[in-house]
Amino acid sequence: MAADRREFSAERVGDLETVVRPWLYEPRPDALVEAMRAAAGDPAGARERGRLAADRVRGGWTWDHTARAVEDRIDRMA
């Protein structure tokens, strides 16, 4: 989906200070409309993509995965 990178106005997210200026990708409205229409036009396909995405998140975005990533980063810094 087409999106534009948007930087935050300061090196913080809410009350939390960050090391660098945070950023995010903001979907372009026309691309978002197209994606929503495609999903509405193919509910079974949208459900399957959602299921696959949920499986990926459950498999790779766990607290154990996060802890290993932090430990690896600390080891590289040491």
Concatenated DSSP letters for 52-67? HHHHHHHHHSSHHHHH
Full DSSP string of 14-66: TTEE-SS--EEEEE-HHHHHHHHHHHHH-HHHHHHHHHHHHHHHHHHSSHHHH
In this prediction, residue 60 carries a pLDDT of 85
Going by pLDDT thresholds of 50, 70 and 90, the confidence category of residue 21 is: very high
Q: With beta carbons less than 8 A apart as the criterion, state whether 23 and 5 touch.
A: yes
Q: What pLDDT is attached to residue 61?
A: 87
Give the tens place of pLDDT for each residue, 33-52.
Answer: 999 999 999 999 999 999 99
pLDDT at 1 over 90: no
CA dist 53 and 12 (Å) reads 29
Mean pLDDT of 23-39: 96
